[in-house]
Amino acid sequence: MLFRRYLLPAATKFIRTKHYQHIELHPEIKYALRHDQPVVALESTIITHGMPMPENVTTALQVEEQVRQHGAIPATIGIIDGCIKVGLTGEELTSLAKKPRNEVIKCSRRDLPYVVARGQSGGTTVAATMIVAHRVGIKVFATGGIGGVHREGHVSMDVSADLTELGRTPVAVVCSGVKSILDIPRTLEYLETQGVCVASFDSPGGVFPDFYTRDSGCKAAYNLSTPQEAADLLRSWRELKLQSGVLIGVPIPEEFAADKAKMEAAIKAAGVQALAQGVTGKEVTPFLLSAIANITQGSSLQANIALIKNNAKVAAQIAAALAGAPA
Ligand code: PSU
Ligand code: MN
C-alpha cells in the first residue's frame, strides 16, 4: 500500500524525467509532459527549407502562439549543433531560420544519425519530428502538409519517408493533407497499405483536403467533426497500442483557399522547371515549394501560412481534449 501510494508515483516521475541521449527538452516541455498537460509538436523543415526569410520566422512564432491560445504548449523540434531540441527558444528558432540553406540540413529519419554525429544543425521533417515527438511522449503534431508520393513517383520511386514513418510511429499528425504538388490518390493508397488511420476534420462531404485548396477530389477513410471526436479516436488508438500513426486532414479555411486552376498551372510549371534543372532527392520538395511561390507571386505562400496556423489551432484543441480539458 505504502509502495503504491507513495513510492510508485515518485518512481514513475523519476522514470518519466529520464535523460534522452542527444535530445534536450526545454524545461517548460519537460514540466508539461511530466504533468500530462497538452503539448503540440511542430516541425522545423518548414522553417529551414519550406519558407523564405522572413516569413519562416514570423510564421513559426505565430504558429506557436496559436497553439498557446488554444490551450496547449508548443514544442518546436529542431537540431542545433548536433543536439536535438524539443521546444526551441525564439532565439534558437531564429538562428536556424537565418542559416544559409547549405549550412542547415533537411533531416528525415535517415539523416538523424549523421547530423548528430557531426554536430551539425538541421530542420526536422515530418518523419524526423514524429520520431522525436514519440521518443519524448508527445502524441499530437501540427504541420502544413506531409510529404507523399510525387507525381510520377510510381516510376521514380520518389515516395516521402513521411509515409513509412506514419506506418511505424504512433503520433497523430494534423495537417492539410499532402501538397497538391504530389500524387494525392497514390499517396492515400500508400497510407492505406501502411495501416495509417486517415480522417478528414470538419470537411463537408468527408473530402480529403488539397493543401492550397479544400477538396482533393478524394475521400478520407473517416471524417471527424469536433476536437472531442478526434480525441476519442486518439484515445482508442492509444489504448489499442497500435504502433502506427494517425493522419488528420484539415482543409484550408475557405477565405484563404487558392484558386484551383491557377494552382494547378503553377504546379505543372514548377514540375517542368524541376525536370529541366535535374532536381532530385530531398531537394525536390523545397524546390517545388519555392518555384510555386515565385510563379504565384507569393499567393501560395500566403495560403500556406494561413493553413498551418489553422492546423496549429485544431491540433491544440485536440491535444487539450485528449488531456481531458473541459471543451
Ligand atoms: N509542408 C510544407 N513545407 C515543407 C514541408 C511540408 O508546407 O517544407 C516539408 C516537411 O518537413 C515534410 C517534407 O516532411 O517537406 C517532405 O519532404 P520529402 O518530400 O523530401 O520527404
Ligand atoms: Mn523524396
Burial class (CB in 10 A: 0-12, 13-18, 19+), 326: exposed
Pocket probe mutation, ligand 1, options 51, 126, 141, max atoms within 8 Å of Cβ: 126
> Does the bond joining 54 to the residue before it have cis omega, within 30 degrees of 0?
yes
Residues with CB under 6 A from ligand 1: 43, 45-46, 49-50, 108, 125-126, 144-147, 160-162, 282, 285, 289, 304
Strand 121-124 to 73-80 pairing: antiparallel
pLDDT value, residue 100: 87
pLDDT value, residue 6: 59
CA distance 8 to 76: 31
pLDDT value, residue 5: 56
Say how many Å lie between the CA of residue 32 and the centre of ligand 1: 28
Say how many Å lie between the CA of residue 234 and the centre of ligand 1: 24
Whether 78 and 85 have beta carbons less than 8 Å apart is answered as: yes
Whether 242 and 285 have beta carbons less than 8 Å apart is answered as: no
Kindly give the number of the ligand 1 atom that is closest to the alpha carbon of 43: 11
Ligand nearest to the CA of 159: 2
Q: For helices 299-322 and 284-295, what crossing angle results, to 10°?
A: 120
pLDDT value, residue 326: 55
Cell of 82: 548536433
Strand 172-175 to 140-142 pairing: parallel
Kindly give the number of the ligand 1 atom that is closest to the alpha carbon of 148: 19
Say how many Å lie between the CA of residue 16 and the centre of ligand 2: 35
Kindly give the number of the ligand 1 atom that is closest to the alpha carbon of 158: 19
Strands (E), the chain: 23-25, 39-42, 73-80, 83-86, 104-107, 121-124, 140-142, 172-175, 197-201, 222-224, 246-249
Cell of 323: 488531456
Q: In sequence order, which ranges of 157-283 are alpha helices (DSSP H)?
A: 161-168, 184-193, 227-240, 260-276
Burial 29-57 (b: 16+ CB within 10 A, else e): bbebbeeebbbbbbbbbbbbbbbeeebbb
Burial 72-94 (b: 16+ CB within 10 A, else e): bbbbbbbbbeeebbbbbeeebbb
pLDDT value, residue 1: 47
* Catalytic position from the list 85, 106, 139, 179: 179
Whether 187 and 150 have beta carbons less than 8 Å apart is answered as: no
CA distance 191 to 179: 15
Query: pTM of the predicted model, to two decimals?
Result: 0.93
Ligand nearest to the CA of 280: 2
Say how many Å lie between the CA of residue 5 and the centre of ligand 1: 46
55 is catalytic: no
| Residues forming a β-bridge with 123 | 78, 106
Whether 179 and 145 have beta carbons less than 8 Å apart is answered as: yes
Task: Please name the residue whose Cα sits nearest to atom 1 of ligand 1.
Answer: 145
Task: Please name the residue whose Cα sits nearest to atom 17 of ligand 1.
Answer: 147
Per-residue DSSP letter, 140: E
Provide the residue-wise pLDDT of the chain in tens; the chain has 327 residues.
455 555 545 554 554 556 899 999 999 999 999 999 999 999 999 999 999 999 999 999 999 999 999 999 999 999 999 999 999 999 999 999 998 888 999 999 999 999 999 999 999 999 999 999 999 999 999 999 999 999 889 899 999 999 999 999 999 999 999 987 899 999 999 999 999 999 999 998 999 999 999 999 999 999 999 999 999 999 999 999 999 999 999 999 999 999 999 999 999 999 999 999 999 999 998 999 999 999 999 899 999 999 999 999 999 999 999 998 655
43 is catalytic: yes
ipTM above 0.90, yes or no: yes
Say how many Å lie between the CA of residue 249 and the centre of ligand 1: 15
* Strand, coil or helix: 289: helix
- CA torsion sign, 216 to 222 to 227 to 230? negative
Within 8 A by CB and 6+ apart from 316, the residues are 38, 40, 66, 67, 68, 69, 70, 71, 72, 142
pLDDT value, residue 17: 57
CA distance 120 to 106: 11
